[in-house]
Structure 1
Amino acid sequence: MKMRSLIATALVAALPGVACAQEVTLSFAHWLPPTHPLQPTGFEPWIESIKEASGGRIAIDIYPAQQLGAAADHYDMARDGIADIAWINPGYQPGRFPLHAIGELPLMMSDAKSGSRAFDAWYRTYAPEEMSDVYYCMTHSHDPGTFHSKEPVRTPADIAGKNVRPAHATMARWVSLMGGASVQVPAPEAREAIAKGAADMITFPWGSIFIFGIDKEVKHHLDTPLYVSSQAIVMNKDMVEGLPDDLRKVIDDHCTPEWTEKVVSGWVDAEAAGRQRMIDEGHTLYKPTAEDLAAWRESAAPLTEEWMASVNKRGIDAQAAYDAYVASLREAGALMGEN
Structure 2
Amino acid sequence: MKKTHVALGALLAALAPAALTAQEVTLRLSHWVPPTISPATKGIQPWAESVMEASDGRIQIDIYPAQQLGRAPDHYDMARDGIVDLSYVNPGYTAGRFPIYALTEVPFMADDSVGGAQAIHEWYAEYGAEQEMGDVKVCFVHPHAPGAFHSQVDVTSPDDVKGMNVRPAHATMARFVSLLGGGPVQVPAPEVREALSKGTAEAVTFPWGSMYDFNLTDEVPVHLDMPFYLSAQVLVMNESSYESLSDENKAVIDDHCTPEWSGRVAQGWYDDDMAAKEKLMADDSQTFNTPTEEEVQAWIDAAAPLTEEWKEAVSAKGHDADAILAAYKEALAKYDADY
TM normalised by structure 1 equals: 0.92
Residue number among 193, 196, 206 corresponding to 2:195 in the alignment: 193
The amino acid that maps onto 2:309 is E
1:231 is displaced (CA, Å) by 0.6
Distance 1:259 1:133 in 2: 21
Where does residue 300 of structure 1 map in the other structure? 303
Where in structure 1 are there 5+ consecutive unaligned residues? Answer: 1-7, 13-19
Q: How does 1:94-243 map to 2 (within 5 A)?
A: 94-125=95-126, 126-243=128-245
In the TM superposition, residue 104 of structure 1 has moved relative to its aligned partner by 0.2
Q: How far off is 1:21 after superposition? A: 6.4
Deviation at 1:40, TM superposition (A): 2.2
* Residue in 2 that maps onto 1:69: 70
Letter paired with 1:327: E
Q: Which whole-Å deviations, capped at 9, do the CAs of 1:221-268 have from their partners, x for residues lacking one? A: 110001011110001111101111111111111100000111121111
Give the structure 1 partner of residue 319 of structure 2: 316
Q: Is the 8 A contact 1:223 1:288 kept in 2?
A: yes
1:53 and 2:54 are equivalent in the alignment: yes
Q: Any idea what SS the aligned residue of 1:34 has?
A: coil
User: Is 2:107–2:303's contact at 8 Å kept on the other side of the alignment?
Assistant: yes
> 1:247 matched to which residue of 2?
249
DSSP-derived class of the 1:309 partner: helix
AA aligned opposite 2:190: P
Unaligned runs of 5+ in 2: 1-8, 14-20
- Structure 1 CA distance, aligned partners of 2:317 and 2:203? 34
Question: Are residue 330 (structure 1) and residue 319 (structure 2) matched?
Answer: no
What is aligned with 2:17?
Answer: none
The equivalent position to 2:287 in structure 1, one of 266, 284, 287, is 284
Supply the distance in 2 between the matched residues of 1:40 and 1:284 (Cα, whole angstroms). 28
State whether residues 88 and 231 of structure 1, in contact with CA within 8 Å, keep that contact through their aligned partners in structure 2.
yes
Task: Letter of the 1:290 partner, please give it.
Answer: E
Please say which of residues 249-258 and 35-44 is displaced more in the overlay: 35-44
- Check the 8 A contact 2:23/2:57 in 1, yes or no: no
- Is the Cα–Cα contact under 8 Å of residues 117 and 140 in structure 1 kept in the other structure? no
RMSD of equivalent CA atoms: 1.5
Match of 2:3 in 1: none
Separation of aligned partners in 2, 1:73 and 1:141: 19
Q: Distance in 2 between matches of 1:308 and 1:22?
A: 47
Give the distance between the partners of 1:28 and 1:140, measured in 2 at CA.
15
Moved over 3 A (4+): none
Secondary structure of 2:209 counterpart: helix
Q: Offset at 1:39?
A: 2.0
Q: Give the aligned residue type for 1:175.
A: V
Conserved in 2, the CA contact under 8 Å of 1:138 and 1:232? Answer: yes
Does the 8 Å contact 1:149/1:221 carry over to 2? yes
User: Does the CA contact (< 8 Å) of 1:149 and 1:202 recur in 2?
Assistant: yes
1:260 aligns with 2:268: no
Q: Is the 8 A contact 1:128 1:136 kept in 2?
A: no
* 1:199-237 per-position Cα deviation (integer Å, ceiling 9, x unaligned): 010000111111101111111111000101111000111
Where 2:303 maps in the other structure, the secondary structure is helix
Tell me the distance in 1 between the aligned counterparts of 2:299 and 2:143: 21
For residues 10-89 of structure 1, what are the structure 2 equivalents within 5 Å? 23-89=24-90
Per-residue deviation at 1:22? 6.5
The aligned amino acid for 2:317 is: R
User: What's the CA shift for 1:314?
Assistant: 1.5
Report the structure number with the largest CA radius of gyration. Answer: 2
Is the 1:119–1:140 contact (alpha carbons within 8 Å) kept by the matching residues of 2? no
Distance 1:21 1:323 in 2: 47
Q: 1:140, CA displacement in angstroms?
A: 2.5
- TM-score, L = length of structure 2: 0.92
Aligned length: 320
Q: Deviations over 1:272-308 (max 9, x none)?
A: 2222211111211111111101110111000000001
Give the whole-Å Cα distance in 2 for the aligned partners of 1:131 and 1:36.
27
Is the 1:120–1:140 contact (alpha carbons within 8 Å) kept by the matching residues of 2? no
The letter for the 1-side match of 2:260 is E
Letter in 2 for 1:191: R
